[in-house]
Amino acid sequence: MSPKQVAPTGVDPYFPTHGDARYRVHRYELVLDYRPGPNRLGGSARLSAVAGAAALAEFALDLAEFRIGRVLVDGRAAHYTHRAGKLRIRPAKALAAGAAFTVEVHYTGNPKPVRSQWGGLGWEELTDGALVASQPVGAPSWYPCNDRPADKASYQISVTTPTPYTVIAGGRLLSRTTRSSSTTWVYEQPAPTSSYLVTVSIGQYATVRLIEGSTTPSPNRTVPQTAYLPARLLPEFTTDFARQARMMHHFEDLFGPYPFGEYAVVVADEELDVPVEAQGLATFGTNHLDGSRTSERLVAHELAHQWFGNSVSIADWRHIWLNEGFAKYAEWLWAEYAGGRTAAAHAATAHALLAGLPQDLRLGDPGKKLMFDDRLYQRGGLTVHALRCALGEEAFFRMVKDWAVRNRHGVVATADFTAHADRYAAAPLDGLFHDWLDDPLLPPLPTAGVSR
Ligand SMILES: [Zn+2]
């Protein structure tokens, strides 16, 4: 692409170099081999994609430093350049507008995290294994992708690794085949998935079937829930995650059917600053277990992301409060339901906390620098609480469930949400949304029966 060319619309203003809005991918098939000792990853990615409204003489994928073998478009060798995280591909023949095409990239190397203001993102080598935590832009650390949250695709992921290791990826395990000292694990995630939510964990883990359940979505099915963790932590885990199955029931009551086939939890053999959500899966660190349920709010937070963020995805990162505000509020809803402090009490605590901090964060467009600031989480939860106070219990919970159900597996922006919520209110919500989303000043603590 010539540097003079104007960036296409649909580019994320926080990460303008990530993604290419001129085409979309509907399926990824990754066939990878990983050797934990030398931290060596190699294999191929096959993408099934569709060109947008204009013909494509070239297009780009995001991919960190790897040695590129072959690049094929529709089975034919293509020209490419690979610099600064961008794999720019020029097919032998331009792709017509709206044309379906396939891209195959063969690559190998030593994956390492993508550097960012939040530390390393993406593929992380552990003492004995690896994990992937990509939010928001770490996915290119391990596979070539159109790295924008709105471009959701189905995934098949095959990983071959030495036999003692367990491989976990989001989705259903299709097969596990051992040949001599290596085992190949094949996972299928049929639901539309954002690139940052694709994950792999590799380690020497015990497998715990928490709930057998049924992977086929049907009314009143029980969602299968599995955990993978270092065997020595089983006693703590059993207490810390004891209530996750009840949590799943409660969230299905509140937010509608669980959006994916199954839910898995990985406790990586490593301390992690925060747990991280992936599609149908969440990764925790050893520090999130203590046998006293100290981190249970995080169990609720990560589970809630399956609806808010993973199924209902944001168009770009400006709208991140839609993910984190609801995940935060779900922590409070769970505590309230489980007999702990009420959501109103949590809201009061969050409000007091924010009142003592700088008020320079615009929730509806926080900027890249503040998108993971704790104030965004707290104020996001408070905004949801303000809506509950304004709408009343019945309309609020109907609004939330309808939001998750109607946008299931979809892509949304803040304006979609405000228009949606407005339909459940007796009086317009413009003032509320202005105060909470646009104005950095902290509005008064919302209380039930008060509309603003
Ligand atoms: Zn979160």
Tens digit of pLDDT per residue, the chain (452 long)? 333 333 345 689 999 999 999 999 999 999 999 999 999 999 999 999 999 999 999 999 999 999 999 999 999 999 999 999 999 999 999 999 999 999 999 999 999 999 999 999 999 999 999 999 999 999 999 999 999 999 999 999 999 999 999 999 999 999 999 999 999 999 999 999 999 999 999 999 999 999 988 887 777 889 999 999 999 999 999 999 999 999 999 999 999 999 999 999 999 999 999 999 999 999 999 999 999 999 999 999 999 999 999 999 999 999 999 999 999 999 999 999 999 999 999 999 999 999 999 999 999 999 999 999 999 999 999 999 999 999 999 999 999 999 999 999 999 999 999 999 999 999 999 999 999 999 999 999 999 864 44
Q: Tell me the one-letter amino acid at 274.
A: V
Burial group, residue 378, by CB count within 10 angstroms (0-12, 13-18, 19+): buried
DSSP state of 232: G
Structure tokens at 361: 């964060």
Predicted local distance difference test score (pLDDT) of residue 139: 98
Predicted local distance difference test score (pLDDT) of residue 449: 65
Distance from Cα 274 to the centre of ligand 1, integer Å: 9
Predicted local distance difference test score (pLDDT) of residue 9: 52
Burial group, residue 173, by CB count within 10 angstroms (0-12, 13-18, 19+): middle
Distance from Cα 71 to the centre of ligand 1, integer Å: 36
Give the largest CA-CA distance in the chain: 68
Predicted local distance difference test score (pLDDT) of residue 3: 36
Give the 3-state secondary structure percentages of the chain, helix then strand then coil, rounded to 5. Answer: 30, 30, 40
Query: What does each C-alpha distance from 13 to 169, 362, 366, 368 come to in angstroms?
Result: 30, 15, 12, 9
Predicted local distance difference test score (pLDDT) of residue 117: 94
Structure tokens at 15: 């990460």
Distance from Cα 302 to the centre of ligand 1, integer Å: 6
How far apart, in whole angstroms, are the C-alpha atoms of residue 200 and residue 138?
Answer: 13
Neighbours of ion ligand 1 (CB under 5 A): 324, 327
Predicted local distance difference test score (pLDDT) of residue 220: 80
Q: Is 196 helix (H, G, I), strand (E, B) or coil?
A: helix
Distance from Cα 199 to the centre of ligand 1, integer Å: 16
Distance from Cα 16 to the centre of ligand 1, integer Å: 23
Please choose, from the candidates 143, 151, 258, the residue with its C-alpha nearest in 3D space to the C-alpha of residue 194.
151
How far apart, in whole angstroms, are the C-alpha atoms of residue 368 and residue 322?
Answer: 15
Residue the block writes with tokens 């400006």: 318
Distance from Cα 124 to the centre of ligand 1, integer Å: 19
Q: Tell me the one-letter amino acid at 47.
A: L
User: How does 384-401 read in b/e, with b if 16+ C-beta sit within 10 Å?
Assistant: bbbbbbbbeeebbbebbb
Distance from Cα 196 to the centre of ligand 1, integer Å: 13
Distance from Cα 373 to the centre of ligand 1, integer Å: 11
Distance from Cα 326 to the centre of ligand 1, integer Å: 9
Structure tokens at 448: 């039930």
The DSSP element (H or E) to which 48 belongs, if any, is strand 40-51
**Predicted TM-score (pTM) of this structure:** 0.96
Distance from Cα 225 to the centre of ligand 1, integer Å: 20
